[in-house]
């Protein structure tokens, strides 16, 4: 298994700004964006420059630090960095004023992606910190920085644990089918479903990945295949419509996907097309697993009917690289997620092991 320092640098808080890989440009171009305002961070989240539930949680936490940097900028200086916090030069501002800035930023950030629970979970966790009584603003900012870094580091450790537990399910020579991107790009740097493959390969097993395209934005073809290629893991890309044909020929050992929100009964929201995979896998007797950290479990909702489903722009379906591919009068329906019911899921691979619902309130 990798050391925490060796994982893909998906998102970082560096010298007062959020730096992240622009995933919309991959695989053709690898570009790291330096984001210095909350508006630009929200644009990056909404436009899927950063995506994946765990990565969005980290982005939400860092976004509140960014709000402080933006509201009280230093000339030739900054307050927050991955390595530490420097608040000695923070102006004499009342704690209440800082809380108001953080509240506004948190609401703006959470509104960008309503289905991914990690975003609101991380912002809520930061709010629990700044809502406490502090003797002064500096102490509050130090605690906020500590919490944001903890959210990042915990995500890395949880994903590595998910990888270890999931790797035990895979045999040497297995063919694993995936959907949407679930590697380092979707997390703090290691991965959930694809992290299971990384861990199995790291343990010496030979694994082949089937990455479906994941229409309409091709996160499987562009991102999963890119991550596998970076690690030297054999990968075959297939059209979303080909998954039943591949499974019908006995070519798939198991399906492992991620999750954006898991209800307490186990119903799971994930990228649109996941439900198709689960139904086909059940028909052909292929085990279908969810790999996700426990932070993706929303114990406050009973089932999948309570999960909000994000609807995205019609142009994502009607166009390809800016070129219109359907008649101008035709409409498009573009839900970003669907809900796979618990009965179609063989198990949930979490940092605690392979577990089963119900997931009761803690």
Which residues is 237 bridged to in the sheet?
Answer: 211
Classified as helix, coil or strand, 209 is strand
The DSSP string of 79-96 is SEETTEE--TT-----HH
Structure-block tokens of residue 290: 């969810």
208: left (phi over 0), alpha (psi -120 to 50) or beta: beta
Q: Whats the size of the chain, residue-wise?
A: 362
63 contacts 41 by C-beta, under 8 angstroms: yes
Give the side-chain half-sphere CA count within 13 A for 244: 7
3-state helix, strand, coil in the chain (%, to 5): 40, 20, 40
Q: Among the options 155, 260, 298, 338, which is catalytic?
A: 260
Q: φ and ψ at 244, to 5 degrees?
A: -65, -40
Taken in order 254, 260, 265, 267, the sign of the CA dihedral is: negative
Q: Can 343 be counted among the known catalytic residues? A: no
Q: Helix count (H) and strand count (E) of the chain?
A: 11, 18
- Catalytic site positions: 260
């Amino acid at each position: 298994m990798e050391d925490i320092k060796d994982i893909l640098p998906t998102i970082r808080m560096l010298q007062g700004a959020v730096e992240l890989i622009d995933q919309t440009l991959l695989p053709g171009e690898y570009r790291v964006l330096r984001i210095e305002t909350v508006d630009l961070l929200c644009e990056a989240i909404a436009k899927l420059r950063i995506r994946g539930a765990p990565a969005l949680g980290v982005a939400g936490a860092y976004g509140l630090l960014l709000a402080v940097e933006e509201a009280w900028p230093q000339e030739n200086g900054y307050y927050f960095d991955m390595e530490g916090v420097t608040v000695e030069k923070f102006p004499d501002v009342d704690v209440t004023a800082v809380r108001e800035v953080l509240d506004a930023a948190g609401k703006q950030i959470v509104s960008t992606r309503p289905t991914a629970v990690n975003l609101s979970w991380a912002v809520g966790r930061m709010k629990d910190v700044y809502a406490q009584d502090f003797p002064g603003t500096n102490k509050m900012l130090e605690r906020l920085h500590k919490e944001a870094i903890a959210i990042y580091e915990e995500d890395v450790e949880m994903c590595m644990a998910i990888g270890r537990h999931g790797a035990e399910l895979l045999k040497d020579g297995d063919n694993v089918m995936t959907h949407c991107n679930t590697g380092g790009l979707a997390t703090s740097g290691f991965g959930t479903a694809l992290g299971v493959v990384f861990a199995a390969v790291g343990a010496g097993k030979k694994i082949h990945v089937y990455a479906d395209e994941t229409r309409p934005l091709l996160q499987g073809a562009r991102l999963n295949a890119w991550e596998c290629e970076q690690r030297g893991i054999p990968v075959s890309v297939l059209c979303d419509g080909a998954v039943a044909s591949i499974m019908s020929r006995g070519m798939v050992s198991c399906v492992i996907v991620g999750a954006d929100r898991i209800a307490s009964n186990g119903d799971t929201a994930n990228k649109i097309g996941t439900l198709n995979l689960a139904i086909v896998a059940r028909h052909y007797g292929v085990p279908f697993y969810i790999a996700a950290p426990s932070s993706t479990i929303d114990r406050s909702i009973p089932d999948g009917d309570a999960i909000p489903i994000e609807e995205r722009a019609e142009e994502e379906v009607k166009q390809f690289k800016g070129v219109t591919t359907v008649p101008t009068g035709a409409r498009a329906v573009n839900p970003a997620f669907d809900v796979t019911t618990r009965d179609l899921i063989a198990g949930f691979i979490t940092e605690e092991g392979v577990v089963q619902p119900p997931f009761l309130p803690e």
